Amino acid sequence: MRRVRLATRTSELALAQARAVALALETELGIGAELLPLKTTGDRLRGSLAQQGGKGLFVKEIEEALLEGRADLAVHSAKDLPATLPEGLALVAFPERADARDALVTRERGGTLAALPRGARVGTGSLRRGAQLRALRPDLVVVPLRGNVPTRLRKLEQGGLDALVVACAGLERLGRADRIDERIAPEQMLPAVAQGIVAVEGRCGDPLAAEVAVLSHAQTAAQAVAERALLARLGADCNVPLAGWAEPRGGSLRLRALLLDLDGRRPVRAVAEAPAPRAAELGRQVGERLLRDGGEALLAELRESGT
């Protein structure tokens, strides 16, 4: 059996995602795969990623392994990917998306966002989640968190926090869906761009990259294209509280976008719908509307403040 090397981060979640892609390669294409786990700059850093370089910190070493030929493919959480890829690389497959929603995990089981007591301490590592939490419940105390999903769950269990907000998809892929107390509706908390999507990256022109396209789920690929086109139009990163979700509606996508200040008091929204084949155009269109309706000024303020 032909074998390929899959570069991945070393976290439990990243390895679970890479193993799922490896299994799909074997069952769909008869290709064996070995994992190449790599520690990225983002995994090593402490403190705010937004102030130290943003999303690219989680992919730099992985993409270098691809470009240098030490890996044949790479597996990423698509929401970790910057809008622009290095020359010579492309996203070649998007397996079916998991639940894109955010999850509330409470120390006292069965909690909901609406039922959290005033002053409850809620942990999150995301500016987007923090801003939306402050908009929905300004009485809560938002606590910045770093670390992978199991680390965050341990911090909740050790006390000092009343709840966490993490991705439903991450808990599901780790076999911890039972720990979700509330799947927060997108109407309350709009998901991150490409949340719940796994992206397979390969080298442009590599025959393997063309083969692997069979692993792509058409609807998921269209969602990824629309949401990432929005991200690219805004030139945004994890240093900006941006949400974007392309909801499937028959053969079309309805893309909703939300940009906020850090306190969640100045939301800027945009929405549009288009057939799935026009996903990239849809993302750019919604980005344009967001910029026109106040997003450009808000982005300038966020960047000037060093967020």
Q: Tell me: do 206 and 89 sit in the same domain.
A: yes
Residue whose token pair is 């549009």: 272
Q: Tell me: do 178 and 229 sit in the same domain.
A: no
DSSP class of 78:
G
Per-residue pLDDT tens over the stretch 11-62: 999 999 999 999 999 999 999 999 999 987 766 655 555 544 455 677 999 9
| Structure-block tokens of residue 289 | 């509307």
Q: Tell me: do 21 and 75 sit in the same domain.
A: yes
pLDDT at residue 159, as a whole number: 86
CA distances from 211 to 28, 146, 203 (A): 10, 37, 12
Question: Do the domain assignments include residue 236?
Answer: yes
Question: Do the domain assignments include residue 189?
Answer: no
Per-residue pLDDT tens over the stretch 152-189: 999 999 988 999 999 999 999 999 999 999 999 999 99
Q: Tell me: do 242 and 270 sit in the same domain.
A: yes
Pick the closest to residue 66 from 28, 100, 38, 29 (CA basis). 38
25-32 long-range contacts, CB within 8 A, separation 24+: 25/212, 25/215, 26/1, 28/214, 28/215, 29/211, 29/212, 29/214, 30/1, 30/2, 31/1, 31/2, 31/3, 31/4, 31/211, 32/1, 32/2, 32/3, 32/4
Q: Which CATH number characterizes residue 275's domain?
A: 3.30.160.40
Per-residue pLDDT tens over the stretch 69-121: 999 999 999 999 999 999 999 999 999 999 999 999 999 999 999 999 999 99
Say whether pLDDT at 307 is over 60. Answer: no
Question: Do the domain assignments include residue 82?
Answer: yes
Q: What are the strands of the beta sheet with 198-203, ordered from one edge?
A: 32-37, 3-8, 73-77, 198-203, 89-93
* Arithmetic mean of pLDDT, 208-212: 95
**Residue numbers of the domain that contains 227:** 217-307
Please give the angle made by the CA atoms of 79, 225 and 180, to the nearest 5 degrees: 40
Give whichever of 58-62, 231-235, 286-290 has the largest mean pLDDT. 286-290
DSSP class of 193:
T
DSSP three-state, residue 184:
strand
Q: Higher-confidence residue: 130 or 40?
A: 130
Alpha helices in 101-249 (DSSP H): 127-136, 149-157, 168-173, 207-212, 218-234
Q: Which CATH number characterizes residue 146's domain?
A: 3.40.190.10
Q: Tell me: do 92 and 8 sit in the same domain.
A: yes
> Which residues are known to be catalytic?
80
Amino acid code (one letter) for 234: L
Q: Tell me: do 2 and 92 sit in the same domain.
A: yes
What pTM did the predictor assign?
Answer: 0.93
Q: Tell me: do 91 and 202 sit in the same domain.
A: yes
Residue whose token pair is 């030139």: 235
Question: Do the domain assignments include residue 190?
Answer: no
Q: How many domains does the chain have?
A: 3
